[in-house]
Amino acid sequence: MTDTDSGSDSDSPRALVYGAYGYTGRLIVEAAIERGLDPVVAGRDPSKTRGLATAHDLPARSFAVEEAASHLGGVDAVLNCAGPFEATADAMVSACIETGTDYLDITGELAVFERLRRRDPDAADAGVTLLPGVGFDVVPTDCLAAHLHRRLPEATHLSLALEADGGVSPGTLKTVLGDVGDGGAVRRDGDLRHEPVASRTRVVDFGDGLRRAVSIPWGDVSTAYHTTGIPNVDVYLSLPSGARAAMKLSPYLDDALDAAPVQRGLSWLIDRYVDGPDAETRAGGEARVWGEARTDDDRVVSRLRTPETYRFTAESALLALERVLDGDASAGYQTPASAFGPDFVLELPGVERIDVEDGTVVERVSDASATATPE
């Protein structure tokens, strides 16, 4: 495996996008080019990496993630888009700490967040920022959690729920199937506790009618606690009735889905038959996030509306990358909101935040630089 660039002659900070030829990686590279950036595109597969680099006249580096440390010369930050991140994040983080390179990724995997949190001392000593989860999920939910904590600093319980239009990419589907065997998780009194996926159902108002959502072990069970310190955290996903029923059955399929031959077969089928949302879906779709913080006596609710999840991820990942390259994030482990504050999400186009009291909208903000609009 060889590199097709010899480092940058420019004094400007340079980023490397690993897994650049995947569905989300390509979207991020294309958005980076539109911003006038020239990232190094990288990945394990030399042919796919060179093909993407040639198509966009970008430098390329091909290497296995286990060999990353010897391929990060001239790079100031890595944006890891190669999921499942269970298989790539640890090795890439070790390489970044060894070489003094800032690390970002677009994971939403709970176990990955928990492991990377434990690398905080090493990263801080090396002067390296570790910022996983700069896509959807967890930028919107993390920023909403921080905003709710700002509204109710004494909150003891936090609940978040998501609803999104459109389909999923091959990489996302592989991650979901790979995680089924791990079961669900919630945060209770500051500790992670396991429970079956979809074991709880909640009715949520995203702003356009009530929806039923089921509990899921998404990354916010880790990140929201780290960001806010609120000791009890639940996360829910709004799904149609058939999908909710399938989620409830998932614990009974754990052994079958965990089997290596089954995983390989499913991975092959996904690669052959599954593609991510098309351009029309990305352009017209949206996602909705609901959050509640409460004590025994008080309760605050806020909501977000964002562009479609993959379009949002491309924008949020690049904005976070630019901010890290500019030196705006502290060394050590960070979440999006701990690094950039609860209003970071409002710096992205097409995002609106709504605060609710007693079922009535009291404030609506669609730009962090604009004055909030009372209702």
Summarised one tens digit per residue, pLDDT across range 203-244 is: 999 998 899 988 888 899 999 999 999 999 999 988 766 555
Peptide bond just before 13 cis, omega within 30 deg: no
Work out the burial of residue 82: count CB atoms within 10 Å of its CB; fewer than 13 is exposed, 13-18 middle, 19 or more buried. buried
Residue 290 corresponds to which tokens in the numbers above? 């609901």
Read off the pLDDT of residues 133-176 as tens digits, 9 standing for 90 and up.
999 879 999 999 999 999 999 999 999 998 887 644 334 444 44
Residue pair 40/5 in contact by the 8 Å Cβ criterion: yes
Answer with the residue of higher pLDDT: 12 or 370.
12
Phi, psi of 35 (to 5 degrees): -85, 0
Phi, psi of 337 (to 5 degrees): -75, -30
Phi, psi of 56 (to 5 degrees): -115, 10
Which residues are CB-contacts of 229 (< 8 A; sequence separation ≥ 6)?
A: 149
Read off the pLDDT of residues 54-86 as tens digits, 9 standing for 90 and up.
999 999 999 999 999 999 999 999 999 998 899
According to the 3-state scheme, what is the secondary structure of 201-264? EEEEECCCCEEEEEECCECHHHHHHHHHCCCEEEEEEECCHHHHHHHHHHHHHHHHHHCHHHHH
Q: What does DSSP say about strands 286-294 and 352-357: parallel, antiparallel, or unpaired? A: unpaired
pLDDT given for residue 275 in this prediction: 52
- The full length of the chain comes to 375
CA dist., res. 316 & res. 230, Å (int): 25
**Secondary structure of residue 282 in the 3-state scheme:** helix
Task: Please report, rounded to a whole number, the percentage of residues in the chain having pLDDT higher than 70.
Answer: 80
Task: Please report, rounded to a whole number, the percentage of residues in the chain having pLDDT higher than 90.
Answer: 66
Residue ranges covered by each domain of the chain? 15-135+312-340, 139-309+344-365
* Same fold yes or no, 15-135+312-340 and 139-309+344-365: no
Read off the pLDDT of residues 334-366 as tens digits, 9 standing for 90 and up.
999 999 999 999 999 999 999 999 889 999 998
Q: Which CATH class is domain 139-309+344-365?
A: alpha beta
Read off the pLDDT of residues 230-239 as tens digits, 9 standing for 90 and up.
999 999 988 7
Q: Which CATH class is domain 15-135+312-340?
A: alpha beta
Phi, psi of 77 (to 5 degrees): -150, 145
Residue 2 corresponds to which tokens in the numbers above? 């060889």
Residue pair 15/79 in contact by the 8 Å Cβ criterion: yes
- Sign, CA torsion 10/12/16/17: negative
Nearest CA among 88, 34, 41 for reference residue 61: 41
Strands annotated E in the chain: 15-18, 40-43, 60-62, 77-80, 102-105, 129-131, 157-164, 184-188, 191-195, 201-205, 210-215, 232-238, 286-294, 299-307, 332-333, 352-357, 360-365, 373-374
Which pTM was predicted?
A: 0.88
Residue 262 corresponds to which tokens in the numbers above? 């089954």
Residue 47 corresponds to which tokens in the numbers above? 């042919």
CB atoms within 10 A of CB 183: 15
Nearest CA among 215, 193, 217 for reference residue 204: 215
